[in-house]
A and B are shown apart, each in its own frame.
Chain A
C-alpha cells in the first residue's frame, strides 16, 4: 500500500543552524510534492511545490529537493529562527483522479523546535 513517512515526529535544533526534514514514500509515483507549515490550532499553510522533473526549488531561506529514484524529498530551512518552530507536512500530489486518498496525500508531519 502507499506510504509516506516523515523522518521523525520531532526535531530540535539551535537557532542559526540548518534544519533538514525528510519525507520518504513507497508504492507511489507523485507528479509533484508540496511542503506545508502548520502552527498549533491553525490550518496548514502552503510553502513550496516541486514537480517530479525538478531536482531543487528555493524560496528565501527554504530549499526543497526531490529525488524520484530514492523516493525522497528533503526540506531545508537555513539560518533557522525560533519563529520557524512549527509542524511541517509533506504532501504528495498526482494529476489524475481515482482512488480514495484524494489527489494530495499528507505525511504526519515533523514538529520542528528552534531554540534560541
Chain B
C-alpha cells in the first residue's frame, strides 16, 4: 500500500532553516508528483508547491517562493522540503501528499510539526 512517512517534529529558532523529509513506499516514486501543504489553525490548508521526482522540476505558490525549496533523492524515494529564514509565522504542520492521475492528492503523510520559537 502507498505510504508516505514524514520526519518528526522540529523545534527551531527564528532565522534558522529546517529540512523536512517524506519517504515514499508502495509505488514507483518517480511516477507521481509530490505536493507539500501547510496547515495552521488560523490559515487552514495552504498549498506550498509541487515537485516532479523524475525530473526534479518544481512549481511553487508565489507566497512560498524564497521560503520553501523542494528537492528529491530518487535513490531513497524521499522528497524533501527546506524552509528558510524561519519566523513564528512558519509554525505549522507540514504535509507531503502524492498527486494522483486525477490531479488530486490521494495519499498524505502523517504530517510534521514545526515550531519556531526562541
Q: Do A and B truly interact?
A: no
List the interface of chain A (C-beta within 8 A of B). none
